[in-house]
Amino acid sequence: MISYDQLFSEMSRQLSAAQRSADPHKMREALAAIRSLCEVGLGQEVETPPQKVPQMIAPPKMQSLTSLESRPLQEEGANGDSIFDF
């Protein structure tokens, strides 16, 4: 693992090279090197304490009736168990 001090040192060196350069191509190369060094620093895994996972609370059980357990609605004037009864 590369230390942050080493990264900062190389970034400083590349920044100085970019500032001193009159050639736009060399300046862009130094800036690209700085970007790469930033990506290396940001990509390093940092030791972090494990986070607590929130406990999931189970929803209360609901009592359900299936169509086999339910009884058809009995209404006055209806003509039996037809599904077309309105």
- The pLDDT of residue 2 is 82
Whether 79 shows a pLDDT value over 80: the answer reads no
- Which pair of tokens denotes residue 55? 């406990």
Query: Does residue 48 sit within a domain?
Result: no
**How many domains in the chain?**
1
Pick from 6, 55, 13, 19: which is nearest to 33 by CA? 13
Band (14; pLDDT cuts 50, 70, 90)? very high
Query: Does residue 72 sit within a domain?
Result: no
- The tens digit of pLDDT for each residue in 18-75 reads 999 999 999 999 999 999 999 999 987 655 666 666 666 766 666 665 555 566 667 7
Residue whose entry in the numeric block shows the structure tokens 């940001």: 42
Q: What is the mean pLDDT of residues 5-11?
A: 94
Query: Does residue 26 sit within a domain?
Result: yes
How far is it, in rounded angstroms, from Cα 36 to Cα 10? 11
- The pLDDT of residue 82 is 65
